Homo-oligomer: A and B are copies of this chain.
Amino acid sequence: MKNAVVGQSGGPTAVINATLSGIVEQCRASDKIGTLYGAVNGIEGLLSDNLINLDEALAKDDIELLRTTPSAYLGSCRKCINDEDLDRIFEVMELHNIGCFFYIGGNDSMDTVAKMSEKALHYGIQVIGVPKTVDNDLCGTDHCPGFGSAAKYVATSIMEITRDCTSYNTESVTIVEIMGRNAGWLTASSVLARCNGNTTPDLIYLPERFFTKEKFLTDIKNAVAKKKSIVVAISEGIRDEKGEYISKGTSFGNDTFGHSQLGGAGRALEQLVKSALSCKVRTIELSLLQRSAAHLMSETDMRLSVIIGQRAVVSAQQGKTAVMMAYKHTNYVPFTCEIEAVPIVGIANREKKVPDEFINAEGNGVTGKFIEYAAPLIMGEVVPPTQNSLPLHLIRKS
Tell me the A residues contacting B by CB distance below 8 Å.
8, 12, 40-41, 44, 69-72, 75-78, 152, 155-157, 159-161, 163-169, 174, 192-193, 195-198, 249-259, 261, 263, 267-268, 270-272, 274-275, 282, 284-285, 287-289, 291-296, 298, 375, 378-381, 383, 386-393, 395
Contact = CB atoms under 8 A, between A and B. Distances in A.
A371 to B, nearest CB: 10
A156 B271 contact: no
Nearest to A286: B289
A256 to B, nearest CB: 5
B198 A168 contact: no
B160 A295 contact: yes
Given A253-B250, A288-B284, A197 B393 contact: yes
A201 B268 CA distance: 30
Nearest to A69: B163
Which of A44, A197, A251, A390 gathers most chain B CB within 10 Å? A390
Given A160-B295, A289-B289, A296-B296, 20 more contacts: A12-B167, A40-B169, A41-B168, A44-B169, A157-B289, A160-B292, A160-B391, A195-B387, A196-B392, A197-B395, A198-B393, A250-B254, A251-B254, A252-B252, A256-B272, A257-B268, A258-B275, A259-B271, A295-B296, A375-B388
Given A249-B254, A288-B284, A75 B275 contact: no
Contacts of A296: 295-296
A388 B254 CA distance: 46
Contact of A72 (B167, B197, B258, B289): B167
Nearest to A161: B288
Contacts of A71: 160, 163-164, 166-167
19 contacts: A70-B164, A75-B169, A76-B167, A78-B168, A152-B390, A159-B391, A160-B294, A161-B289, A163-B294, A163-B393, A164-B291, A164-B292, A192-B390, A196-B387, A196-B388, A250-B254, A252-B253, A254-B268, A259-B275
A282 to B, nearest CB: 8
